[in-house]
Amino acid sequence: MIISPVFDKDSSKALYIQLYEYIKNEIISGLLKPDSKLPSIREASASLNLSKTTIENAYSQLVAEGYIENQPKRGYFVCDLTEYSFDIVSTVLKSTVKQDSDTYYLNDGVDKDSFDISTWRRLYNKVVADEDTNIYSSGSIQGEKFLREEIANFVNTMRGGNTGPEQVIVGAGVQYLLGMLIGIIRSDYNTVAVETPGFYKAEYIFEDYSFNIRHIEVTDNGFPIGALKKSDAQVVYVSPSHQYPLGTTMPVNKRMELLDWAQKNNGLIIEDDYDGMIRYGGMPIPCLQGLDKNDCVIYLGSFSKMLLPSLRISFMVIPKKLLPVYSTIKTRHTQSTSKIDQVVLANFMKEGFMVKHLRKIKRIYKKKNMLLAASFKYRFKDKLEIINSDSGLHIVCEAAVKKTEHALQEDARKTGILLNIISSSKDKVIFSLNYSGINTDKIQDFTELLGKVLFE
């Protein structure tokens, strides 16, 4: 059998690769028949005027990929691939599916002046260069110990919590952590109660893991514990510091009642404290976890809203009683947050920048919140009322809107405004609105745009 490739001596491709590609194509196209014998390495080397090594390299690549086989003492033979029709697409097809671009919203994200990027960068450069960080090894599955210590300290001192670092689990986003939590509790629990309206992305995770979902309707009075008691749920997902999206705060008597329910029913309370740090009227409301005597609260926190959404660092504090199960299933997962980011954040916290940062953003968002309220008042008069705005990074509004919910949603999206419709009737709509990402000098422009979306 003769092989007669044409070589391109000017190509950047090594000769053995050109030979390999030539033979492979001959086999695929059927020109080299199954079971036919290839020239021996010595023969090919002589006839093609190539070194034996070149031939050897090409042949071994073809053997490794299974196009030819080396039969001891007999030589190299073409494998039988005729059963399968090769039709390898050699050029990248232009996809016919429309590129589904993500929408960027005017009001999403955090304030551009809020973050001390030069400090972060300085710490990053230090951490990456530091031998102790050991960026070359994978990190701790649970989260770097240094960061878990800082987080425990943060939860205890800034949020009134009560935890040790061994209860803290670090992960890339609350959803990921919830999946892990479900892995810990699923042998004992299968029904969860969620706030409605609430943080739907949490509900989805429970749904994905085949939990039964019970919707507890949140009213102006907040979370109705009576309804929870009547349900068969043993796990409840709540946002007591600042109910998402309605913005109500759960008063201490309800918190105690909820803890009481958990104790009596051997239940679990998942506390989502997504923006509990940011409150304008006074100090932050201490978290529910700190009131828990019976080891039944799971606390979820995230640095995305607090610090920078382009970082993905969240954490979960689990009760001590769940630690034994966690330690048995822990190695089923990998750590999802960059070790480098974890150590940078730990340094950021340890050196006091987090406390400074929180003070700063409280000032920034308080001002933004007031300017927004004033701008809305001036522009919309009594067509729009702000119902809740004393904490967090979104406000809840009620507006005399005559559009359908769908039309409103569409207009908002087109304008680049992220609008979360809570309820709507014929001539009234209640929605929540992120405002953290609106530039302070753009508040009037934003108000104009919102006016068009709502009333035109």
Q: Which is nearer to a second copy, 82 or 378 (CB)?
A: 82
Q: Which of 18, 234, 243, 335 binds a second copy (CB under 8 A)?
A: 335
Considering only residues 254-313, where is the footprint of a second copy by CB under 8 A? 254-257, 259-260, 279, 281-283, 285-286, 290-291, 293, 304, 308-312
Q: Which of 250, 384, 433, 449 binds a second copy (CB under 8 A)?
A: 250
Q: Which is nearer to a second copy, 312 or 377 (CB)?
A: 312
Rounded-to-integer distance, Cα 152 and Cα 157, Å: 9
Considering only residues 387-426, where is the footprint of a second copy by CB under 8 A? 390
Considering only residues 75-94, where is the footprint of a second copy by CB under 8 A? 79-81, 83-84, 86-89, 92-94
Tokens, residue 338: 């960059």
Pick from 120, 121, 146: nearest CA to 342: 146
Contact characters 217-236, a second copy, x per CB under 8 A: --------------------
Q: Which of 37, 42, 52, 112 binds a second copy (CB under 8 A)?
A: 112
Applying CB under 8 A, the span of 162-170, 189-197, 211-219, 448-456 interacting with a second copy comes to 162-170
Considering only residues 10-39, where is the footprint of a second copy by CB under 8 A? 16-17, 20
Q: Which of 5, 165, 224, 416 binds a second copy (CB under 8 A)?
A: 165
Q: Which is nearer to a second copy, 2 or 93 (CB)?
A: 93
Under the criterion CB under 8 A, does residue 141 sit at the interface with a second copy? yes
Under the criterion CB under 8 A, does residue 253 sit at the interface with a second copy? yes
Closest CB 362 distance from a second copy, rounded Å: 14
Q: Which of 4, 29, 187, 334 binds a second copy (CB under 8 A)?
A: 334
Q: Total residues contacting a second copy (rule CB under 8 A)?
A: 121
Closest CB 108 distance from a second copy, rounded Å: 6
Applying CB under 8 A, the span of 117-125, 190-198, 350-358, 370-378 interacting with a second copy comes to 117-125
Under the criterion CB under 8 A, does residue 64 sit at the interface with a second copy? yes
Applying CB under 8 A, the span of 37-45, 170-178, 355-363, 443-451 interacting with a second copy comes to 170-178
Q: Which of 15, 23, 154, 163 binds a second copy (CB under 8 A)?
A: 163
Under the criterion CB under 8 A, does residue 134 sit at the interface with a second copy? yes
Under the criterion CB under 8 A, does residue 336 sit at the interface with a second copy? yes
Q: Which is nearer to a second copy, 2 or 92 (CB)?
A: 92
